[in-house]
Amino acid sequence: MTDPVPNPGPLSRRTMLRTLLVAAAVVPLAACSGKEDALTAQANSGDGKNYIAGDGAVEEYEVAKRSEPVTIKASTYHGTDIDFTQWQGKPVVMNFWYAACAPCRIEAPDLKKIAEELGEKVEFIGVNVRDEAEAAKAFERTFEIPYESIQDTDGNIQLAMTKYVPLQAVPSTLVLDRQGRVRARVIGAVEPSTLKSLINTALTEEL
């Protein structure tokens, strides 16, 4: 029998994220399918087949180097028509996710809290890269997500945003400035303090 491992004391959020990946991935959703369970297993295997783990690295783009405004039009899982051009005038947070993604489940409560705190000052939209409606809606109910998501299983939105979000790099989060241009990206689960800082900058910066 080995000696007990000493208590290392409080864990940082980054350390907690790494240690909870496996546990979070296997928490069941009412509508999860066997296929999603297989994807979770691949995510945790580290073989890179269906998942690229990010470390929460942040990249910001100065005004002169930002691309043209995002002009995506789509419908959400709930049938709401989305037109990004109608959101110009305030920042937009785009979060790429899917239900069996372990870090997506870990960051979901933080995204919910920030979206509720900011209210109408900022638009939040999810981009689900893998799930049909049943699984996506079950995730939204489980985590009480206050904003809607677009289904992108055909990959059209990912392809349009590959300059900023590598394919299969999920979760990833983009913050658009008030003109609808990408001003920052986070590859991996986003720290709440980091996201708040990026949003506050987008709210106040001169364009």
pLDDT at 6 over 80: no
* pLDDT per residue as tens digits for the range 67-104: 899 999 999 999 999 999 999 999 999 999 999 999 99
Residues 36, 10: Cα–Cα separation, whole Å: 32
Cis peptide upstream of residue 171 (ω within 30 degrees of 0): yes
Report the candidate in 146, 147, 54 with the shortest Cα–Cα distance to residue 103: 54
> Are the beta carbons of 199 and 66 closer than 8 angstroms?
no
Residues 174, 193: Cα–Cα separation, whole Å: 15
124 CB neighbour count, 10 Å cutoff:
22
DSSP 66-110: --SPP--EEEBTT--EEEGGGGTTS-EEEEEE-TT-HHHHHHHHH
Q: What's the pLDDT at 18?
A: 44
- Percentage of the chain with pLDDT > 70? 73
pTM of the model: 0.75
- CA distances from residue 133 to 24, 54, 60, 165, 207 in whole angstroms, order as listed: 21, 26, 32, 23, 38
> Are the beta carbons of 192 and 110 closer than 8 angstroms?
yes
Question: Pick the residue with more confidence: 4 or 84?
Answer: 84
Radius of gyration of the chain (CA): 17
Q: What's the pLDDT at 207?
A: 85
Which residues make beta-bridge pairs with 149?
Answer: 126
Q: What's the pLDDT at 56?
A: 73
CA 188 to chain centre: 8
DSSP 147: S
> Are the beta carbons of 199 and 90 closer than 8 angstroms?
no
Query: Which segment of 14-18, 65-69, 157-161, 192-196 scores lowest on mean pLDDT?
Result: 14-18
Query: Average pLDDT in the 116-131 region?
Result: 97
Name the helix (H) or strand (E) containing 128. strand 123-128
Q: What's the pLDDT at 52?
A: 43
Q: Two tokens at 32?
A: 């999860």
pLDDT at 167 over 50: yes
pLDDT at 8 over 80: no
- CA angle, 138 then 140 then 145, to 5°: 165
Residues 10, 49: Cα–Cα separation, whole Å: 33
